[in-house]
Amino acid sequence: MSSTQHPFDKALALHHSDIRVGHFTGMTSPDYWNMVGPFGGTTAALALQAVLRHPDLLGTPIALTVNYAAALEAGAFDIQATAVRTNRSTQHWTVQITQAGASGAPNMTTTATVVTAARRDTWGESDMPMPEAPAPGTVDRISIGPSGVAWINQYDMRPFSGGIPATWDGSLKHSETRIWVRDAQPRPLDFPSLAAMSDVFYPRVWLRRARHVPAGTVSITTYFHAGPEQLAEVGTGYLLGRAAGQQFFNGFFDQTAHLWSEKGVLLATSNQIVYYKE
């Protein structure tokens, strides 16, 4: 097995500083660059990673909300993760990501909240069964040439419904995509990578209108419905993703997403609000 560090782990590399507990420093990754900043899923994963690396962590993640106040610029950044309340079985966190501005003063780029919990064995069932889908190996992987959007190449994405429009003709269609996805370079699934994959779906407005308008996530919330054992069972396998828009109104729309394992276990759901420009 190669000892080379996975690109995702490089992107999530954080160093705990001596300033205060929960304060980390890091560097943006060119491997996960988007149009004007890092891939939003990577930023979400960084916020979660800071909590997971905190020495006072209780339990595992159940909820993550990330608000993108401004795009991270290429270079160094700071993350502060703070446990604001610890209960018997849940823990509530705030996370802030900042970068030094031209004057040296910190500029806020991202805020986040995380809830972790010490789960206990109880009854459980899913009311959201996995949709029928062809086997991943029977679906072609999308191939996108040089575009300046590096992060897309870090994922093996195989849409079998609702792919990127072949023609941008303004026609009105449904907004649902169904897709198999995993890391392009094999990497066992964990909570940060699951958080990132919750944001791999391109803006629903593109599919709904077949119009390539500028768009970007403003806020995303991801709920985790599995524990480390369930993620370990996935290993380096594919996830089945489903995403659909719900309401498009005056420059913003929301989209919902679901991620299942190949065995049909619902691992995560997410909702996000997205800005689009006319």
Name the pLDDT band for 104 (thresholds 50, 70, 90).
confident
Cα separation, 262 vs 234, whole angstroms: 8
pLDDT at 261 over 60: yes
pLDDT at 1 over 50: no
pLDDT at 166: 87
pLDDT at 146: 57
Domain ranges of the chain: 7-119+142-276
Residue at token pair 């604001």 = 84
- Given the DSSP bridges, would you call strands 215-224 and 15-16 parallel, antiparallel or unpaired? unpaired
Strands (E), 69-144: 76-86, 90-100, 106-117
pLDDT at 155: 97
Q: What is the mean pLDDT of residues 177-189?
A: 98
Residues in the chain: 278
Cα separation, 141 vs 137, whole angstroms: 9
Name the pLDDT band for 3 (thresholds 50, 70, 90).
low
pLDDT tens track for 123-175: 999 999 999 999 999 999 998 755 678 999 999 999 999 999 989 999 988 99
Of 103, 47, 39, 48, which Cα lies nearest the Cα of 72? 39
The superfamily CATH assigns to domain 7-119+142-276 is: Acyl-CoA thioesterase, double hotdog domain (2.40.160.210)
Task: Please report, to the nearest 10 degrees, the dihedral formed by the alpha carbons of residues 208, 127, 219, 214 taken in order.
Answer: -10
Cα separation, 70 vs 48, whole angstroms: 18
